[in-house]
Structure 1
Amino acid sequence: MCLFRYEDDPEPEERVPAGLLYVPVRPGRGAEAVIRLFRTPLGARTAVGFTSTDRLAATLGEGRPYIRLSESLLRELCEPLGAGLVTIDPTLSAAPAAPAAAPAEPRQPGRLPARAV
């Protein structure tokens, strides 16, 4: 919280509006596009918008289709679908998949593995 108020910054506590966002879409019927909805880590439905195409590509991959919408319009379109939350510039939070470990050699019943002496 800012304790000082400056003349050139009349509302220092206000969040800067995101402006137009790059919103990922998927193909719909015919030529229309459908806004993609996602889930938060806790499972809530959310609409997603990115502030640049580079951020969209870094999170979802290259060549993903998108449309340009304002944050308020995105929220208005998605609220009736149960996605009242809008997430801006999310990042992938899952750890990269590790290669599968090689299966251990099966043991023969009743025999102990050999030990080095």
Structure 2
Amino acid sequence: MQFQWDAGNIAKLEKVRNSGRNITVDEIESVFVDPDRLTETAIPDDKTGEKRYKATGLSNQNRVISVIFVIRNGEIRIFNVWKTKQTTLKKYHAQTTDTRGEEAIRSETDPDGQRD
């Protein structure tokens, strides 16, 4: 899986980091290897018509994050990322199963009580 990182989306990630979200490139990329990752089609871009997607998955920092991305020239290009809010977190956990086929229980909370 190849990722497209350039000055544009690195600058955006720096703004995300400065806003207190403290999410790294490595953590973002790790979401895409979560076998239980939830991927949904988001609203297409008005200017380009590109389909944007939202992936929600467990990162290598053991927190569930959501990532907005497109597939451009066979590579994943990241647009935005945040710690997953309660509505999507519940959806993610509802479809996530452990090795015994039971619903997985992962401790993830949203201290602000915000919704996606």
Q: TM-score, normalised by structure 1?
A: 0.24
Q: Which has the higher helix share?
A: 2
From the CA coordinates, give the structure whose radius of gyration is larger. Answer: 1
